[in-house]
Amino acid sequence: MDFPVHVLAGSVIGNIILHHATKYPSHVMEKHRQIQAGAAGFLWGVLSHLFLDALPHYDWLFKLDIFRPLPFYWMYPQILTTLPVIVITFYLTRDYWQIAGAAMLGGMYPDIEKLLYFDFHLPRSFVLFPWHSCRLSQSLWEDEHKLFLIFFEICLFAVMMTYLFWIARQRESSMTMADTPACALHAGRRPA
Ligand SMILES: [Zn+2]
């Protein structure tokens, strides 16, 4: 599937992890919990990528050729649509952006591996997911149903983006609650 969908899935995973890890009464994470959360985010991000690629899809952003004279012209639509997702995610998770970043990196990882294998001759023995990264995945059925699959991908993106803002909002209100003096006393902490 296209890059922004994978990165957004990683972002959603990072935000879900952060929402649970920084829930009232304690929204401060110790260093070792941050590392655990980052590792979990990365792993779930990789799994989300493999799951999304197992769904029928038509990588329509890869097929736009408006940048064709440039080297790696197929990368630019992916980069231009992925950058806003990264910026929004880092803004929403600015207190623990590294954790959301690790989850987004996990969401990207299998395609980074695929790019390295096909375009930079990464030895096959270094490829962790050969069934994903050592073959180009487009079936005849997907070609025939490309309009439906493009529509499906855009809907999936819109649903995940809506959910991302919703979960970020939930986390923010949970943290605001933890910061109120009454709650801080209840949690055994001195009010600020
Ligand atoms: Zn992929």
pLDDT digits (tens, 9 = 90+) for 37-94: 999 999 999 999 999 999 999 988 988 888 888 888 888 999 999 999 999 999 999 9
Domain assignment present for residue 191? The answer is no
Q: Where are the beta strands (DSSP E) in 48-186?
A: none
Average pLDDT for the chain: 88
The reported pTM is 0.87
177 contacts 171 by C-beta, under 8 angstroms: no
72: which 2 tokens? 């790696």
Domain assignment present for residue 106? The answer is yes
Q: How many A from CA of 16 to the centre of ligand 1?
A: 22
Domain assignment present for residue 192? The answer is no
> Which domain, by its residues, includes 39?
3-186
Which amino acid is located at 37 in the chain?
Answer: A
Domain assignment present for residue 118? The answer is yes
User: Which residue, 5, 6, 29, 4, is CA-closest to 17?
Assistant: 29
Q: How many A from CA of 170 to the centre of ligand 1?
A: 30
Domain assignment present for residue 142? The answer is yes
Domain assignment present for residue 171? The answer is yes
Query: Residue 172 above 60 pLDDT?
Result: yes
Query: Residue 143 above 90 pLDDT?
Result: no
Query: Residue 183 above 60 pLDDT?
Result: no
Alpha-carbon distance values, 52 to 31, 80, 160, 172 (Å): 31, 21, 13, 28
